[in-house]
Amino acid sequence: MPQNARRAYFDHRLYRDYLESGHVRDSYSYCEPDKPLHNGPISRVGTHNALASTPYVSMIGGYRNSDGRPATYSATGYHAPPAFNSQSDVDVIFPCDDSDTNSGILGAGPRDGAALAMNGTSVATALSSRMMIDCLLTDPDAEPGQPWLQTQARNYANEGRPEHYKHAAPLKAGAGHLPYPDSYRDVGAGVGMRARRGRSGITKLNF
């Protein structure tokens, strides 16, 4: 197939962008047990950013809050040889979409008190940062990071995770799902700083 400009790309006669059902093809199925959704040399495995291939960076993926399915645009890790001294795998996944029809989750908008729906693994990463900050506010001596996040995900799978969520492939979801941080659920998205402080008598504004 002709391509414009000079972009380099991989292609193979066995690779398909979509499943027979019409859904976008992901790297793994969302069922138990999971199975890879590719045949041939071209796959979506190892689609994470190279900057994440280090033990010093937490790799956060995203999932759909309605059913726990990892987002198709969320990267898939890759089991690199030990000699590479790299992590190359997803640690955990956070919400990045409400449902299949409602893209994104609510976050703070550009004005005080405004809320805006945003999606992507950047949103999931922000939630992971917020969860770790909540932890440090409660326990300043805590050491949140990769092991801490993975432990939280395993605990959530054993107690608290919705029953209809399935076990996602480890290369896609790492140690598993994590929910919205407590401060996100308690305070809510788009509540301005002045309203949170409660000092000026300003209530939440709706835009």
Closest CA to 28 of 46, 51, 53, 7: 46
Task: Dump pLDDT digits (tens) for 110-119.
Answer: 777 778 889 8
pTM above threshold 0.75: yes
Question: Over the stretch 36-69, which tens digit does the pLDDT of each residue have?
Answer: 887 778 888 888 877 777 777 889 999 999 999 9
Contact 76/171 with Cβ under 8 angstroms? yes
Yes or no: say if 62 and 123 are a contact pair by the CB < 8 Å rule: yes
